[in-house]
A and B are shown apart, each in its own frame.
Chain A
């Protein structure tokens, strides 16, 4: 049964990108375990506002695990100590009375802090802009059933396309690598016949942009896969490597 608990929070506070940040500790009582983690933060912010203090800034939006906006590093895990969830799907019943909970922003040179727990993930958009698409214009597409797609491949493409672009993979990686994110997009499109035509060009362009933006290398630790809220598999990274090598050989 869910009950009310008292907790301590160690939260990273940082005024701006150039300012020095530090942990601050807050006590919060009577937190209902049926509340989500973000509702608990709302409660804290309400309290801070009441005390005339500045509330904690953090990114969040849909609060149902699909927009990819929320991005908290809770007790050493991107999105916190539960499986297959985003931060907004983490519930306070995962914590006990008297717990101290540490909350940090994503930490990676690819994602600079904007304020407190908010980071700048525009690098992900830049990687997609470099080639994460099929080059078709609106209009003039053939009938949707013209090209049959193998069901297993379509399912595998969907598995990869489930990526929400939250950045947990980068935050989980000791090298700050964006390989799982890039691999998910490359796989999604390379698995479909519609995306094959420019598969080589796409893989090269996206990897080049990822390197340029300062993301680290992949050393196959698999931490990204463990923390991914959408269960994106690292077999996608193997597929990306194959696509990339094939493309290089074609040069």
Chain B
């Protein structure tokens, strides 16, 4: 078996990143101009990387699928960004941020990466303030913080409920400045559809121009993938409509390992599904669980009457309500981590106590908090979320409890990278949600923004140079090379094949079916039988798709149906790999819950003896099982423990 080399530097935790930076190779300014870097994606990771690499003097080409870099899905992050500033004097430190993140990830992340992330967190806040990010402030003019799940300190910096937007606008400003200075060239409405590997190194990409339909070729000395996660394999998720896993998947098919695909995060507080044309699920921020109490009726007949519209939640007496999180987890109550809260909601609904027209919803009730604090305090804290809820559900959460249900939100798994954020293909890097690196089996709130910006602003600009220093003698590649020719031919054939099918059903018809399989059998709780069944079902659906999908219009113009079809074709394969990885991981950890592996009272049961490793899947070809490589997680500094939220 191939030995996985994660290239962790020597030394104590606190010395590793410093040691690395002291000894890595650098590229001198005159040589940087001659080195081209492709960055795919303009979210927090992509935009920050493109801007920073451009500022250093590299020649950067930056691609996005939207009409503007500012629309990347990082923009939708609500809550905040963590940093170990200890501005609140509440005992925070780099080590504590590191420890909380490792523990929150249920001991399935790399210690060295997570420690580096915590170290860098403070630099991110400094830079963002210098860029003009309008973080919340105290009357004295200094920065304010709030608390998030999985921490005992207040370390979350925020800009109202729009922190992701403000950080992305900051990165977008830096990117715009680099474009203005000619350091970065921007390509919008373009979707990467293949990776070019020449002599074993990543040397370019093929994109489809989403306006003209033309296939375009771009060469570079190195390629960076910053295209986010693959949560839309489940069809309904909190992701934006265009979020997809295809760029990462093409890298996988060219030899990049895909790590921990089964580690997907389900967020407990989303607005439930309403009808068959539902296209996405809207998140209600985790912060609501500070004041909201989650409950369902104690009596089945009450739940049935509510579902039939005969009773209202306000008709249910206090003693007939089951505040099941408070009942099961007295120590943490409504503030248990995301994975625990999600599973508990599913358990109640599956048992027949769910509410709402479908029976798949629970109440998030603010009546106690309104009584205790007054409506105006609740309004000040959560006004924008309450307004959003009212627009969607046509119910006033000040008067009646919100209905919520878990939904797919984030993928901790992704392209495998080493400490330098380089994949198993030399010259191919992956950053942000697209890689697997820092969140283990469960991501803590306010950590995604931190990781995306750490990768882009402060890690990649160093680690890429260590690779590029050896590339200064390599001349620019011609896009007429056979590798480009062949890739373009394959893509044209794939598109022509899709267009020719002219079957009976739309792309969404198949995507919804895939989503249903994924959610039912590869979702919040999984078992061997269901996972095997899901793999078979996905295969069968995939076959049907390639026989019976209908894509109207032409490939030579704007064609959203074709875009969706190309992405869905990959989602079938991604879905299957998620199921395979979930089947293989015979333990429960974080977001991955296997029903066979639980404690007597229904909690996740980890198996550190056998499964303290990163699953790295290597592609072997169509219809062949991928090979599993294991990167052992040797915990040297922290002792893994069973997470306990009860006492």
Q: Interface on A for B, CB 8 Å cutoff?
A: 2, 15-16, 32, 34-36, 38-40, 42-43, 45-46, 48-50, 52-55, 57, 59-69, 82, 84-85, 89, 91, 93, 114-115, 118, 120-122, 124-125, 128-139, 141-145, 147-151, 154, 157-158, 161-162, 164-165, 188-189, 192, 194-195
Pick the contact of B278: A15, A39, A122, A124 (CB < 8 A).
Answer: A39
Question: Across the interface, do A133 and B71 meet the contact criterion of CB distance under 8 Å?
Answer: no
Question: Across the interface, do B169 and A138 meet the contact criterion of CB distance under 8 Å?
Answer: no
Q: A34-B275, A60-B241 are in contact. Are A148 and B508 (CB under 8 A)?
A: no
Pick the contact of A89: B71, B174, B211, B391 (CB < 8 A).
Answer: B391
Question: Across the interface, do B134 and A136 meet the contact criterion of CB distance under 8 Å?
Answer: no
Q: A32-B275, A151-B139 are in contact. Are A194 and B130 (CB under 8 A)?
A: yes
The A-contacting residues of B in range 279-311, CB under 8 angstroms, are 279-280, 282-283
Question: Across the interface, do B391 and A85 meet the contact criterion of CB distance under 8 Å?
Answer: yes
The A-contacting residues of B in range 551-597, CB under 8 angstroms, are 552-553, 557-558, 560-561
B140 within 8 A of A: yes
The residues of B that contact A132 with a CB separation of less than 8 Å are 173, 176
Most buried by A among B51, B166, B277: B277
Q: A54-B552, A66-B165 are in contact. Are A141 and B68 (CB under 8 A)?
A: no
Question: Across the interface, do A54 and B282 meet the contact criterion of CB distance under 8 Å?
Answer: no
Docked pose: A40 CA to B277 CA in angstroms:
8
Docked pose: A90 CA to B160 CA in angstroms:
23
B62 to chain A, nearest CB (A): 12
The residues of B that contact A157 with a CB separation of less than 8 Å are 132, 134
The residues of A that contact B280 with a CB separation of less than 8 Å are 63-64
What are 30 A-B contacts with C-beta separation under 8 Å? A2-B394, A32-B274, A34-B393, A39-B275, A49-B561, A52-B552, A55-B561, A61-B66, A63-B240, A63-B279, A64-B282, A66-B75, A66-B165, A69-B67, A85-B391, A91-B391, A125-B69, A125-B176, A128-B173, A129-B179, A138-B174, A138-B461, A141-B127, A144-B125, A147-B129, A148-B141, A154-B134, A161-B134, A161-B159, A192-B134
B339 within 8 A of A: no
Question: Across the interface, do B282 and A161 meet the contact criterion of CB distance under 8 Å?
Answer: no
The residues of B that contact A124 with a CB separation of less than 8 Å are 68
B324 within 8 A of A: no
Chain B minimum-CB-distance residue to A4: B275
B576 to chain A, nearest CB (A): 26
Question: Across the interface, do A165 and B70 meet the contact criterion of CB distance under 8 Å?
Answer: yes
Docked pose: A165 CA to B186 CA in angstroms:
18
The total number of A-B Cβ pairs within 8 Å is 215
A214 to chain B, nearest CB (A): 18
Question: Across the interface, do A61 and B241 meet the contact criterion of CB distance under 8 Å?
Answer: yes
Question: Across the interface, do A63 and B552 meet the contact criterion of CB distance under 8 Å?
Answer: no
Question: Across the interface, do A62 and B76 meet the contact criterion of CB distance under 8 Å?
Answer: yes
Question: Across the interface, do B138 and A151 meet the contact criterion of CB distance under 8 Å?
Answer: yes
Question: Across the interface, do A144 and B176 meet the contact criterion of CB distance under 8 Å?
Answer: no
Question: Across the interface, do B131 and A67 meet the contact criterion of CB distance under 8 Å?
Answer: no
The residues of A that contact B242 with a CB separation of less than 8 Å are 61
B73 within 8 A of A: yes
Pick the contact of B174: A59, A62, A133, A162 (CB < 8 A).
Answer: A133
Question: Across the interface, do A130 and B180 meet the contact criterion of CB distance under 8 Å?
Answer: yes
Docked pose: A188 CA to B515 CA in angstroms:
41
Question: Across the interface, do B211 and A114 meet the contact criterion of CB distance under 8 Å?
Answer: yes
Question: Across the interface, do A39 and B279 meet the contact criterion of CB distance under 8 Å?
Answer: yes
Chain B 301-343 interface 0/1 with A at a Cβ cutoff of 8 Å (1 = within):
0000000000000000000000000000000000000000000
A205 to chain B, nearest CB (A): 9
Chain B minimum-CB-distance residue to A136: B130
Question: Across the interface, do A134 and B130 meet the contact criterion of CB distance under 8 Å?
Answer: yes
B24 to chain A, nearest CB (A): 15
Identify 20 new A-B residue pairs, CB closer than 8 A, beyond the known A34-B275, A136-B127, A161-B166: A2-B394, A34-B393, A35-B277, A39-B279, A48-B552, A61-B240, A61-B241, A67-B66, A122-B68, A124-B68, A125-B186, A134-B131, A137-B55, A141-B126, A141-B127, A144-B85, A145-B142, A148-B141, A161-B169, A195-B132
Q: Interface on B for A, CB 8 Å cutoff?
A: 48, 51-52, 55, 66-71, 73, 75-76, 85, 87, 123, 125-132, 134-143, 159-160, 162, 164-166, 169, 172-174, 176-177, 179-180, 186, 188, 211, 240-242, 274-275, 277-280, 282-283, 387-388, 391-394, 457-458, 461, 506, 508-509, 550, 552-553, 557-558, 560-561
The residues of A that contact B143 with a CB separation of less than 8 Å are 144-145
Docked pose: A38 CA to B131 CA in angstroms:
35
Docked pose: A46 CA to B169 CA in angstroms:
35
A97 to chain B, nearest CB (A): 17
Docked pose: A195 CA to B169 CA in angstroms:
14
The residues of A that contact B394 with a CB separation of less than 8 Å are 2, 34, 91, 93
The residues of A that contact B51 with a CB separation of less than 8 Å are 138
Chain A minimum-CB-distance residue to B560: A57
Pick the contact of A145: B55, B87, B169, B279 (CB < 8 A).
Answer: B87
B633 to chain A, nearest CB (A): 31
Docked pose: A154 CA to B461 CA in angstroms:
31
A46 to chain B, nearest CB (A): 5
The residues of A that contact B55 with a CB separation of less than 8 Å are 137-138
Docked pose: A23 CA to B136 CA in angstroms:
47
Chain B minimum-CB-distance residue to A190: B132
Docked pose: A147 CA to B81 CA in angstroms:
20
Question: Across the interface, do A158 and B68 meet the contact criterion of CB distance under 8 Å?
Answer: no
Q: A63-B280, A93-B394, A158-B159 are in contact. Are A189 and B76 (CB under 8 A)?
A: no
Question: Across the interface, do B176 and A128 meet the contact criterion of CB distance under 8 Å?
Answer: yes
Chain A minimum-CB-distance residue to B87: A145
Docked pose: A194 CA to B457 CA in angstroms:
19
Docked pose: A91 CA to B390 CA in angstroms:
11
Question: Across the interface, do A128 and B162 meet the contact criterion of CB distance under 8 Å?
Answer: no
The residues of A that contact B126 with a CB separation of less than 8 Å are 141-144
Docked pose: A136 CA to B500 CA in angstroms:
51
The residues of A that contact B162 with a CB separation of less than 8 Å are 66, 162
Chain B minimum-CB-distance residue to A17: B211
Q: A42-B277, A53-B552 are in contact. Are A158 and B457 (CB under 8 A)?
A: no
